Structure 1
Amino acid sequence: MCRHLAYVGADVPIGELIVRPPHGLYRQSWAPRHQAHGTVNADGFGIGWYAPGDPVPARYRRAGPIWADGSLLDLARVVRTGALLAAVRDATESGADAEAATAPFAAGPWLFSHNGAVRGWPRSLAPLAAGLPPETLLGLQARCDSAFVWALVHGLLADGLDPSQALAETVRPVAAAAPGSRLNLLLTDGTTITATTWGDTLFYRHEPGRGTTVASEPYDDAPHWVEVPDRTLLAATPTDVLLTPLKEPTA
């Protein structure tokens, strides 16, 4: 349904991660190689990145396809960063939210993306919605499944859970309420990357002296890429990657 990517490490031009690679996110918008659900990611794109000394990321999001944005190539060429999260979107359902429904979602230091779809949305998650404060529901950034999943994750982060706990404690109840959902989640605060595999592909690339990239699919054919097994929680820094199995929700 989407393709996404996160990076933490040495400062690089944004375009080196998104545009220049032969199979980068830019090309994945129309020619993904590992996408089983949908073929074209033309319903919006977004890039969030961090500047030195500023913990709050900047975002550039648009409702149209990434290849149609005339400003992106200049932006990607001149802006350098040591951390980013980017996504191209294939909408689960068409709607009026457009840009607001496009990842990355953001709050404070966090950037978030959801690659997948919640089965039976929105009815299937009504029990989970009943447990949220009214102001959370009224403040959703968009009326889509990904924005709701982000609200769940952010609520757990605000309660003091660490990123790995927040993602795991979101995936399990959503999967229990909506069996068959695809819940590949991606989260960064500019220093770490946390992700889940639940029904879709994920790869990571760790290069000593440079950093760590986590992506829906490899952006080139270099041998550094490692596929993450399904039902896995990934926690990464520029120097380490840790994989932990995710347990299926109890019936």
Structure 2
Amino acid sequence: MCRHLAFLGEPEALGALLVEPAHSLFRQSWAPRRQRHGTVNADGFGVGWYADGDPVPARYRRDGPIWGDQSFADLARVVRSGAVLAAVRDATEAGADGEAAAAPFAAGPWLFSHNGAVSGWPDSLAAVATTLPPADLLSLEARCDSALVWALVLERLRRGDDAAQALGDVTVEVARAAPASRLNLLLTDGATIAATAWGDTLWYLAEPGRRTGRTVVASEPYDDDPSWREVPDRTLLAATRTDILLTPLKEPTA
């Protein structure tokens, strides 16, 4: 598994979101409190953020543990943003993809992360993969399950589906092909967040009382604020700075 987080609100330093809280994503890389599968998230990490006036996010990704990257420590101290998606990657089998396999994946205004695993990978998704245009398959950034799931989501976004619809449809499609999969997906365009809870924990913190609102969606709470709420399993979340909508996802039929 992995741990990930998305944030919308008034600009904050990356460190205030990802490093400083008592149970931050930084700490979750070695001491997650609610992770159900795996214990150490040290096979890469990444953070994407949006700058004012630019719809295309910047990314910083590495293939090692977040705690060993001093350049990230400097970056997190000075970079501020009002929209962020970050992830730490669970220890996995050795591969050649390096940081290309670390979330967030990106295209245009979108940032994406997958917390989980596709059961039976890669054979289980062989048929699903054939539904993608050949150019999309040849353009996969990495050869891991998350990269293919991202390609499936992106194909739907490009044909006009909204973020929540794209995530929900892909979750059900992949779960139908690989029933034991864990598919907590997270997507943002800098103005909205969409996420699925399917096989692992997902929480949100909504603070609409602030001047423009503030929303955090994460694998687990980064502090002990009682306002955190857990998203039920098999649920689709759609959020802005001020609103949260939860919709049950139907179990796939054969």
TM-score by length of 2: 0.98
Unpaired runs of at least 5, structure 2: none
Deviations 1:35-55 (A, max 9, x none): 010000000000000000100
Residue 76 of structure 1 aligns with which residue? 76
1:7 lines up with 2:40 in the alignment: no
* Aligned match of 2:36: 36
Q: CA deviation at 1:176?
A: 0.4
Residue 92 of structure 1, CA deviation: 4.2
Aligned to 2:70, what secondary structure does the other structure show?
coil
Q: Residue type of the partner of 2:112?
A: F
The match for 2:228 is 225
Distance 2:225 2:105 in 1: 30
CA distance in 1, matches of 2:146, 2:119: 12
* Alpha-carbon distance in 1 for matches of 2:94, 2:250: 32
Alignment map for 1:133-172 (pairs within 5 Å): 133-172=133-172
Bigger Cα displacement from structure 2, 9-18 vs 85-94: 85-94
3-state DSSP class of the match of 1:71?
A: helix
CA distance in 2, matches of 1:172, 1:93: 26
Write the distance in 2 (CA, Å) between the matches of 1:179 and 1:91: 22
Counterparts of 1:222 and 1:72 in 2: how far apart (Å)? 26
Residue aligned with 1:30, SS:
coil
Q: Is the 8 A contact 1:84 1:190 kept in 2?
A: yes
**Over aligned residues, Cα RMSD in angstroms?**
0.7
Structure 2 distance, partners of 1:177, 1:108, is 28
> Scaled by the length of structure 1, what TM-score is found?
0.99
CA distance in 2, matches of 1:78, 1:132: 40
Aligned to 1:60: 60
Correspondence list, 1:156-195, <5 A: 156-195=156-195
1:20 — aligned with what? 20
The match for 1:243 among 243, 246, 252 is 246
Asked if 1 retains the 8 angstrom alpha-carbon contact of 2:43 and 2:92, the reply is no
Q: Which runs of 5+ in 1 are unaligned?
A: none
Q: After the TM superposition, which parts of structure 1 deviate over 3 Å for at least 4 consecutive aligned residues?
A: none
